[in-house]
Amino acid sequence: MKILIIENEVYLAQSIATKLGELGHVCEMCTSTRDAIKSNNYDVVLLSTNINGQDFNPVIETFKKSIIILMVSYISNDTVSKPLSAGAKDYILKPFMIEELIRKIDHYQDYEKLKKRDAAYKKYLTHSFSTVTHEYNHDIIDLPIFISSSFQKYSDAFAFEHAYKKDLPIHFITLSDPKAMSEIESLNQDAILYIIDYQTLKKGDKKAFCSLITNKKVIVSSTDKIENVEHQVLEIKSDNNIFDQGDILPIEDYVKYIVLNYQYKFPDIELSKKLGISRKSLWEKRKKYDIIKKK
């Protein structure tokens, strides 16, 4: 990482830079906030609040995308509270062990990575579920609940939306994992358990499973119809009834579905190629199924 050390005690700054450099970090030093804000290309900024007569707000504003750790000789409103409120991440009290400083740097570096990863996952899930149009009143839904849907995506969308509405983390488990039952039993209820592949359980194991999840915050997904359970069951049907039969689709039904749902996504020449038919056959299919493509 690239680290900027803002410290007027040159010996201390050099000592910190040497020890961090030994760990592979690239360190730069400056003795005033005015010199510090000339560049903002740093992963971490170590800011000493002992520099008299210096305004720390421009530094914090300049490096708001960096991890700012305050190095303080005493704790006060000016040295800690105000800089933290302005955007600094943490502080460390002088004199300190370099190992403690490294621990803080590593902690916030991991935190920033998790934030970026979480943002990417949320963006991906929002995109993935954008075609799911079902809406639910999650305030009146009690867990545990079973979700039956021919499309796994519909159950996924319900589970992640419920966790978001309840502001709770979500823990994913598949019943195809041999250790799933022991994992469910060992988990604390500080998160919603989203369990899929209920249809893979043997009939004799389903009773034990239902007993195990009683009084837990659990959402169970199955691609088969759910019967003989004491908990609430929600059946989610697709917008295309042909997919709710639970069987392999006839070729004609499959072609009709693809044409209806993808004719505006792909030009005819590409759509016919993906279906393995000619453009003339595609036109004939539209005529047969009374499908009109608006220009």
Entry field: residues in the chain? 295
Per the CB < 8 A criterion, the answer to whether 137 and 52 are in contact is: no
CA–CA dist 192, 47 (Å, integer): 40
**128, two tokens:** 């993935």
2-117 and 138-242 share one CATH topology?
A: yes
Q: Give the model confidence (pLDDT) of 155-202 as tens digits.
A: 999 999 999 999 999 999 999 999 999 999 888 778 899 999 999 998
pLDDT the model gives residue 244? 53
Write down the pTM of the prediction.
Answer: 0.68
Name which of 237, 257, 256, 233 is nearest 245 in CA terms: 237
pLDDT the model gives residue 240? 57
State the average pLDDT over residues 234-257: 69
Q: Domain spans of the chain?
A: 2-117, 138-242, 248-289
Under CATH, which number does the domain 2-117 receive?
3.40.50.2300
Residue 248 DSSP symbol: P
Q: Give the model confidence (pLDDT) of 63-96 as tens digits.
A: 988 999 999 999 999 889 999 999 999 999 999 9
CA–CA dist 217, 157 (Å, integer): 17
What's CA 29's distance to the chain center, in Å?
A: 36
Name which of 99, 97, 69 is nearest 6 in CA terms: 69
Name which of 74, 94, 80 is nearest 13 in CA terms: 94
Under CATH, which number does the domain 138-242 receive?
3.40.50.300
Q: Is the pLDDT of residue 295 over 80?
A: no
pLDDT the model gives residue 1? 86
**273, two tokens:** 């190629």
Name which of 248, 276, 275 is nearest 260 in CA terms: 275
pLDDT the model gives residue 159? 94
Mean pLDDT over the full length of the chain = 87
Give the SS3 label for residue 233.
strand
**251, two tokens:** 């070729």
